[in-house]
C-alpha cells in the first residue's frame, strides 16, 4: 500500500480532496466542450497542460463517463487496417502506456496481447494484410498458427471440431485492457486541477450560430457564450451537430456487452473473433468481459436483448467449451455512432468555431488520449494536426475515405 493511501486512511480529520470540484456555471468560456466522456475530458486536460488554455467548461448531461466511456469493454490496440488508422491508434496506445506515470495514479493498464482469430481463407488474407500494414508502421503484429495460439491460450479450442475451426490469428502483443472509469476520473481530476470546470447534469439544448460562426450554447442551466464549441459526444453526436446546422454522415446503433460472475484467472490474453462476432477478456476481478457486434438495426435503445445473450453464449462455447457452466452476472448496451467508412470524424465543420470529435463507432475508447491531445492542438493552433487530417469531415465530399471496416473486431 502506498504511503499516500496509508496517511489518508489514518488521518480521519482530513478527508481526501475531491477528484474534481463543483463550480458555479459562468455565462461565458473560451471553450465549451459538450460531452463529459473520456474524449471531452482528455481534450480539456491537454488544452490546459500543453497549451495553457484553462477557461474551459465541460458540459455533461448526466454524470461523467455515463456514456460510451463507461460502457465499453476496455480493449486497447493499434492493429488497424489503414496506415492512417494504425498511426493514430498507435499514438493513443503509447499515451495509454504512460498514463499511470503521467497521472501518478493507478489506471490498471494491463498489457496482455490481443488475438484476432481467422476462421476462413478470406479472414486469413485480411489478417496477413493487417500484419503487413502494422509492421510497416512499426507496430508489433503478426500472423500465428493454431499450435502457437494454443500455447498462448490453452483453453481455446483450436481443434477441427467447431463449426468454424480456427485457421490462424493476428497476434498483437502490445494490446491490453485498462480500467475505464479510472481513465475518466484521471482526466477529470487533472483537467480540474489545471483550471477546467466540469459541469455535470448540464444538458445542451441548442447551439447559437451568428453569421456562420458559433456564439454559444443553450443549456438547461442557461445560455453560455463561447468562441469555440467542441461536440465530443457519442450516441447523440448527430443530434448535437444538427443544433449547429451541421449534418453528419452518422447512424447510431446499440452495442451490447456482458460480464460473468468472477472466475479463477485462466485467460491472460484478449480473444476476438470477427467471424463469430465475439470478444472476450478476463478482468482483474476474474469476470469475463464479453461483447458482440453492434445490433443489426439503428436505435437509441440501451436495453439488453435475449438474442444477443443467446448468440454470444453459442459462439463463446465454440471457442471455449469449458465455459459451459459460467453464469452471466450483468448485461448492458452502449451507443455507437457509425460512419460509412468506420473511421471517426475529427476537426472543423462548415460552422466557424464549431468542431467535432465524433463518429467513433466501436473504436472510441481506444482513441481517447490521442483524440484529446490532437483536438486540443487543433483548438489551440487553429490548424489540423497531420495525424488527424485523414479524419476530417470534408473527406466525405472529397472521395477520400479511410476504410477501416476490415479492422473492426466485430462488425455486421
Residues that bind ligand PYC (CB under 6 A): 73, 75, 77, 279, 291, 362-363, 408-409
- In this structure, the number of other CB atoms found within 10 A of the CB of residue 100 comes to 16
Task: Kindly state the smallest distance separating residue 272's Cβ from ligand PYC, in Å.
Answer: 7
Closer CB to ligand PYC, 31 or 408, in the complex: 408
Closer CB to ligand PYC, 39 or 77, in the complex: 77
Distance CA 273, CA 279 (A): 6
Distance CA 44, CA 188 (A): 9
- In this structure, the number of other CB atoms found within 10 A of the CB of residue 223 comes to 13
Among all chains, which residue has been given the C-alpha cell 489551440?
A: 380
Distance CA 192, CA 196 (A): 5
Distance CA 80, CA 197 (A): 35
Task: Kindly state the smallest distance separating residue 407's Cβ from ligand PYC, in Å.
Answer: 7
Closer CB to ligand PYC, 73 or 202, in the complex: 73
The β-bridge partners of 368 are none
Task: Kindly state the smallest distance separating residue 194's Cβ from ligand PYC, in Å.
Answer: 31
**DSSP-derived 3-state class of residue 324:** coil
Closer CB to ligand PYC, 75 or 224, in the complex: 75
Closer CB to ligand PYC, 96 or 363, in the complex: 363
Residues in the chain: 412
Task: Kindly state the smallest distance separating residue 169's Cβ from ligand PYC, in Å.
Answer: 14
Closer CB to ligand PYC, 92 or 409, in the complex: 409
Closer CB to ligand PYC, 43 or 410, in the complex: 410
- Set of cell numbers at residue 6: 496509508
Closer CB to ligand PYC, 175 or 216, in the complex: 175
Measured between alpha carbons, how far is residue 285 from residues 19, 215, 238, 267, 281 in Å? 24, 47, 36, 12, 11
**Contact criterion met (CB below 8 Å) for 108 and 182:** yes
**Contact criterion met (CB below 8 Å) for 377 and 52:** no
Quick one: which of 52, 20, 65, 38 has its CA closest to 379? 52
Quick one: which of 339, 326, 315 has its CA closest to 401? 339
Task: Kindly state the smallest distance separating residue 78's Cβ from ligand PYC, in Å.
Answer: 10
Task: Kindly state the smallest distance separating residue 207's Cβ from ligand PYC, in Å.
Answer: 30
The β-bridge partners of 347 are 356
**Contact criterion met (CB below 8 Å) for 194 and 49:** yes
Task: Kindly state the smallest distance separating residue 85's Cβ from ligand PYC, in Å.
Answer: 11
Task: Kindly state the smallest distance separating residue 52's Cβ from ligand PYC, in Å.
Answer: 34
Closer CB to ligand PYC, 353 or 406, in the complex: 406
Q: Which residues contact 261 (CB under 8 A, 6 or more apart)?
A: 287, 326, 327, 328, 329
Task: Kindly state the smallest distance separating residue 291's Cβ from ligand PYC, in Å.
Answer: 5
Amino acid at each position: 500500500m502506498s504511503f499516500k493511501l496509508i496517511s489518508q486512511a489514518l488521518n480521519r480529520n482530513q478527508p481526501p480532496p475531491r477528484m474534481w470540484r463543483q463550480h458555479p456555471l459562468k455565462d461565458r468560456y473560451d471553450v465549451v466542450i459538450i460531452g463529459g466522456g473520456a474524449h471531452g475530458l482528455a481534450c480539456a486536460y491537454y488544452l490546459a497542460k500543453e497549451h495553457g488554455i484553462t477557461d474551459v467548461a465541460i458540459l455533461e448531461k448526466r454524470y461523467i463517463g455515463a456514456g460510451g466511456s463507461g460502457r465499453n469493454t476496455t480493449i486497447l490496440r493499434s492493429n488497424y487496417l489503414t496506415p492512417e488508422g494504425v498511426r493514430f491508434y498507435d499514438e493513443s496506445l503509447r499515451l495509454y502506456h504512460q498514463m499511470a506515470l503521467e497521472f501518478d495514479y493507478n489506471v490498471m493498464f494491463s498489457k496482455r496481447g490481443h488475438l484476432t482469430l481467422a476462421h476462413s481463407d478470406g479472414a486469413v488474407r485480411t489478417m496477413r494484410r493487417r500484419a503487413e500494414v502494422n509492421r510497416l508502421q512499426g507496430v508489433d503484429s503478426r500472423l500465428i498458427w493454431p499450435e502457437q495460439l494454443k500455447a498462448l491460450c490453452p483453453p481455446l479450442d483450436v481443434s477441427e471440431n467447431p463449426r468454424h475451426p480456427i485457421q490462424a490469428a493476428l497476434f498483437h502483443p502490445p494490446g491490453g485492457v485498462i480500467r475505464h472509469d479510472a481513465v475518466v476520473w484521471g482526466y477529470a481530476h487533472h483537467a480540474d486541477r489545471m483550471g477546467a470546470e466540469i459541469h455535470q447534469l448540464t444538458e445542451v439544448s441548442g447551439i447559437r450560430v451568428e453569421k456562420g460562426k458559433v456564439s454559444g450554447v443553450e443549456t438547461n442551466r442557461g445560455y453560455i457564450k463561447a468562441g469555440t464549441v467542441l461536440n465530443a459526444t457519442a450516441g447523440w453526436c448527430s443530434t448535437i451537430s444538427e443544433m449547429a446546422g451541421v449534418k453528419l454522415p452518422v447512424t447510431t446503433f446499440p452495442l451490447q456487452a456482458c460480464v460473468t460472475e468472477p472466475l479463477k484467472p485462466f485467460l491472460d490474453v484478449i480473444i476476438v473473433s470477427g467471424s463469430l462476432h465475439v470478444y472476450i477478456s478476463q478482468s482483474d476481478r476474474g469476470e469475463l468481459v464479453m461483447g458482440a457486434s453492434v445490433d443489426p438495426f439503428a436505435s437509441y435503445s440501451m436495453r439488453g436483448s435475449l438474442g444477443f445473450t443467446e448468440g454470444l453464449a453459442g459462439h463463446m462455447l465454440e471457442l471455449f467449451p469449458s465455459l459451459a457452466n459460467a453464469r452471466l452476472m450483468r448485461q448492458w448496451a452502449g451507443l455507437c455512432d457509425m460512419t460509412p467508412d468506420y473511421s471517426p470524424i475529427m476537426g472543423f465543420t462548415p460552422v466557424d468555431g464549431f468542431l467535432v470529435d465524433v463518429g467513433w463507432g466501436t473504436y472510441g475508447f481506444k482513441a481517447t488520449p490521442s483524440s484529446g491531445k490532437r483536438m486540443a492542438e487543433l483548438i489551440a493552433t487553429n490548424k489540423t494536426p497531420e495525424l488527424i487530417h485523414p479524419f476530417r469531415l470534408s473527406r466525405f465530399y472529397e472521395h477520400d475515405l479511410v476504410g477501416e471496416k476490415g479492422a473492426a473486431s466485430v462488425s455486421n
